[in-house]
Structure 1
């Protein structure tokens, strides 16, 4: 059984890491501001779904591949950067129509959710981060390391879900203001496009 003090220490570290500025919470913030709180929460759910994949990868040892293989790391990195550039292109083209569109809302929600998943799983640094972070709190003397990593991964996912949802909620106030100004919508879309392009550049330049 994992001691409560270890869980609390891990929880504190997870909260701090979730609030620290990074691609995921910046992504949630911009999507919430552009599309509203529900959109930000849907993106958050997608990101957390991606974290399930990373937790499974670490617990099964798959993430080691990305730490030891430069080719695997670079391929996933390029895929992630291309996707971010695609999002940047969409944002620059969006103008002020995003808030006014009344089309297929269900499809839009599905796109936001899948956007979060893709954003997360195509970032090899998340897999490597989990590989470096989760095992630090596991102890072979307490039983199955794999099971402990799954528990810690679950705690981190719940923490990220709460923190990112809070970010989405408060960013939604910015979205409420943007709805009343078409000019502000255009500016915010340009800002979002720039953020996506910057995240793509950061991902391309990242090293293992």
Structure 2
């Protein structure tokens, strides 16, 4: 495994996006355990995209405008729903002192959907992973699976770190209603902007 792959993967994972934003929001609103659950859910949401890239199914999204647009606008709609839920103080992003098993399941499902409904991830992995597999490799599949596993582990660790940092700031935030209102509006606005960016993306 090359150092170039590790550095490139870290830059990609650490860059702000929907998964990182959701994990931060979960940490602020529900605490440290919820932030780790959110990081795990976002990581699981990458699995179908990695599998599609390895199996070549991502080429379908790249070739079919209908398939790409369908998944894309489902993702846009979901991000707008997340923005609305955030503003309405409902769902997994509602502030609570306690987080039960049911809320953790909700956080996991929402985190998975955030990454699952982003068709650009499949196309990204289709273009990204083969760059680090030699063309004369005798068995490229095990190598791609190993790279995928490392990428997912890095995703979980970085997102969990984001979430735990947010959770550490939680008491300072939720004890100030005006700050919490500002943060809620900020997260809602960020979800809307990410939805708009997704809507404008092309294959």
| CA displacement 1:129-170 (0-9 Å, x = unmatched) | 111100111124222222221111111001111111111111
1:138 aligns with 2:133: yes
Residue 98, structure 1, aligned to residue 114, structure 2: no
CA distance in structure 2 between the aligned counterparts of 1:143 and 1:164, rounded to whole angstroms: 34
Equivalent residue pairs, number: 201
User: How far, CA to CA, are the matches of 1:159 and 1:16 in structure 2?
Assistant: 10
Which of 66, 81, 84 is equivalent to 1:86? 81
- SS class of match (2:88): helix
Q: Any unmatched runs of 5+ in structure 1?
A: none
SS in 2 for 1:142: coil
1:179-198 Cα offsets, whole Å, 9 max, x none, are 21223222222211111111
Q: In the alignment, which residue of structure 1 is the partner of 2:175? A: 180
- Going from structure 1 to structure 2, the CA distance change for 1:91 and 1:131 (only over 3 Å counts) comes to same
Alignment gaps of 5+ in structure 2: none
Give the TM-score taking structure 2 as reference length: 0.91
List structure 1 runs of 4+ shifted beyond 4 angstroms: none
Distance of 1:26 and 1:110 partners within structure 2: 18
Q: Say which of 186, 189, 193 aligns to 2:188.
A: 193
Do structure 1's residue 67 and structure 2's residue 31 form an aligned pair? Answer: no
Which residue of 11, 20, 34 corresponds with 2:15?
20
Which residue among 132, 138, 145 is the counterpart of 1:150? 145
2:111 match: 116
d(CA) in 1 for partners of 2:136, 2:47: 25
Q: More deviation in 20-29 or 46-55?
A: 20-29
Q: How large is the RMSD of aligned CA atoms in angstroms? A: 1.9
CA contact (8 A) 2:18 2:115 kept: no
Deviation at 1:101, TM superposition (A): 6.3
Partner of 2:163: 168
